[in-house]
Chains A and B, each alone.
Chain A
Amino acid sequence: MKFVRNSGVFGFALLVAILVALPWFGPSPNAVRLLFVTFVWVTVSIAWNILGGFGGQVSFGFAVFYGLGAYAAALAVNSGLPTVPALLLAAGVALVASLVIGLPTFRLRGPYFAIATIGVSEAVRVVMTNVSLTGGASGYRILETGPFRQLDHFYISLALAVLAVAASVQVRRSRFGLALIAIREDEDAASDLGVNPFRAKLLAHALAAALTGAAGGVYAQYAGFIHPQGVFAFSIGVAILLMPIIGGVGTIWGPVIGGVVYGLIHDELVASFPQLHLLIYGSLLILIVLFEPAGLVGLLDRSFGILVGSRRIRAANPQT
């Protein structure tokens, strides 16, 4: 067990090392852009998974945190704050928002919570469209303080993604993570066993929001221009939800795979088949819900299990 776990960590560390060293291989700016976008998506995907995958609380409203983080970082940078404090501020603002939203809505269960998050997300978008401090509907521009250094953004987003993975692993292995899973499986039983579901959900929400807010801030600094119909769009909330589900909700690597798939393939898809991407994601979602709830990770594991031929895998996977 330990060997396997450590080899997983080793594999991941190797991957990160390769990514860090990547600029030495002279990739094109477009490749760097793709990776940057992927890291941002991976971060939010992992973040959502903490609440939605481990905790089982499906929120359609993560665009709120993404957008608030983007705006907070943008305002901070324009006021002169350097990058990292701006990102911390972004995470902080998103965290506070998650508490404000979570306090009333976590009393709701299942789809009611999901629907409430849709309502909140759209309400925030409409409000932000009317706040003149941030430019309202016209959007908000981040003043560029020097020549554009693409690699700086690359490394920041990579660092954030690694942080997210570490946080995810840490949560999963902790008692807190166990509590979340217990809540996901049966909230009442968990509560009977001494878990405080309300507090656990709030905490998970806060962590997820902070990561998402930071990701939004990272994105804002790269894009240079944000507006409410963009960063608060319902479609962002949907994308944030689709990634971990397609990748494998409730696992550690599922969200990562989902983020990678979305970041890399989505870009290619939009460029080559702009007319079909809704069809593809919708069908994927349907297929996953019906046949492989464990997403791509589940598929991988099944094929891996078939390759290895382990009886234990087959026993654990009654559908095969």
Chain B
Amino acid sequence: MSATDLLNLLIAALLLAGVYAVMSVGMTIIYGVMKIVNLAHAGFLMLGAYFVYELYTHLRIDPLLGVFLGFPVFFFIGMAVHRILVRRIPISDQPTLTSLLLLFGLWLVLQNLGYLVWGNSDRAILTRRTLDVLQIGPIGLPTVRLVVFAVALAALAGLEFVLHKTWFGRAVRALMQNNDAGRIVGVNVDRTARVAFGVGIAFAGAAGGLLAMLYSFSPDFGGAFLLRAFVIIVLGGLESFAGVAIGSLILALVETFAILALPANYQPAIAFSLLVVALVVLPGGVAGLWNRRRRLA
């Protein structure tokens, strides 16, 4: 394999990491603030995909624009879901099974709604940009994946900014550390949680729209991504959204390059095995390892 091929593969892995990052951000937010494992994330990825698809098919709205339009729409949907369902279960500093099961139930419902509304066929979005490749010398960069990567970077950077430079962000960080302590120092836990949940779902919907630009989808879309999101969250740890970036990078690199050594039919097992290994060996994620080293040094 030539150096060019290697480089192209590396780029491919990087772009894939962008896809994975954008897809996990929503789940990370919700998990970080409320310690809720949002299994319905997959359902919202799916809805986000169909949202962009419908806008494109009926109103000729460019998918990227559709993604940005989807963000506020899903924000309000997320807040509504929180108000109707999530608010009723007690949240704590430890992830609870109740929330896990509640959102799992929601995912089942969303899947079925998808079936009822859109049927079961695979849909895909094809624009002039879908197959375009930006050629920089010997390196080929598929345009859509570049776009997704750029959005991922922007999203992560934006979130970092909000987290560290705004009052809301501080409230969120306080809640991420300890709910009760946050309440004591004056954080409006319910409102912050609701907004955070809304933001998480907004990112899920937006990510779904971005994924729709790359892949074909049907109502059970999202399941495979859900598991990868777990891997990323666990690998990256939750200290900051840099963790999402790290986790996505590790997963994408391992998946892409392991294929060179392993037969391709074992590829799915990589993500799952990584998940189990990460959970057992690295409970704080890679970021946690890093922090531990810093603290000891």
Contacts and interface: CB of A to CB of B under 8 A. Distances in A.
Whether A and B touch directly in their complex, counting CB atoms under 8 A apart, is answered as: yes
Interface of A: 56, 58, 104-105, 107-112, 114-116, 118-120, 122-123, 126-127, 129-130, 234, 238, 245, 275-279, 281-286, 289-290, 293
Q: Chain A: interface secondary structure?
A: helix
B235 to A, nearest CB: 12
A115 B97 contact: no
B279 A108 contact: yes
Contacts of A129: 265
Interface in B148-187: none
Interface string B92-115: 001111101110111111111101
Main secondary structure of the interface of B (DSSP, over half): helix
- Chain B interface size, under 10 / 10 to 19 / 20 to 34 / 35 or more: 35 or more
Nearest to B120: A275
Interface stretch (B6-14, B137-145, B270-278): B270-278
A278 B96 contact: no
B133 interface: no
Contact of A104 (B223, B269, B272, B276): B276
Sorted from nearest, which 5 A-B pairs have the closest CB atoms? A282-B108, A285-B105, A279-B112, A282-B109, A119-B275
Given A281-B108, A283-B109, A286-B109, A118 B230 contact: yes
Contact of B94 (A109, A130, A245): A109
Nearest to B114: A278
A116 B279 contact: yes
Interface of B: 37, 85, 88-89, 94-98, 100-102, 104-113, 115-116, 223, 227, 230-231, 234, 263, 265-266, 268-269, 272-273, 275-276, 279-280, 283
Nearest to A120: B276
A277 to B, nearest CB: 8
B88 A290 contact: yes
A245 B230 CA distance: 24
A52 to B, nearest CB: 9
Contacts of B280: 104-105, 107-108, 116
Contact of A286 (B94, B105, B268, B272): B105
Contact of B85 (A110, A118, A290): A290
15 contacts: A114-B37, A115-B279, A118-B227, A119-B275, A122-B227, A123-B269, A130-B265, A130-B266, A245-B101, A275-B112, A275-B116, A285-B101, A285-B104, A286-B109, A290-B89
Contacts of A107: 280
Nearest to A104: B280
A276 B111 CA distance: 10
Contacts of B107: 282
B112 A278 contact: yes
Contact of B102 (A110, A116, A234, A286): A286
Nearest to B269: A126
B106 A286 contact: yes
B100 A111 contact: yes
Contacts of A293: 98
Contacts of A276: 112
B87 to A, nearest CB: 10
A289 B112 contact: no
A289 B94 contact: no
Nearest to B219: A278
Contacts of B102: 285-286, 289-290
Contacts of B230: 115, 118-119
Contacts of A122: 227, 268-269, 272
Contacts of B272: 119-120, 122-123, 126
Contacts of A283: 105, 109
A91 B251 CA distance: 35
Contact of B276 (A116, A277, A284, A289): A116
- Which has the most chain A C-beta neighbours within 10 Å: B89, B94, B97? B97
A214 B281 CA distance: 32
Nearest to A278: B112
B32 to A, nearest CB: 14
Given A110-B94, A115-B275, A129-B265, A58 B100 contact: yes
Contacts of B276: 104-105, 116, 119-120, 123
B82 to A, nearest CB: 13
Given A284-B105, A289-B105, 20 more contacts: A58-B101, A104-B276, A108-B283, A110-B94, A110-B96, A112-B234, A115-B37, A118-B275, A120-B276, A122-B269, A126-B265, A127-B269, A130-B265, A276-B112, A281-B105, A282-B105, A285-B105, A286-B105, A289-B98, A290-B85
B105 A119 contact: no
Nearest to A136: B265
B275 A116 contact: yes
A284 B105 CA distance: 8
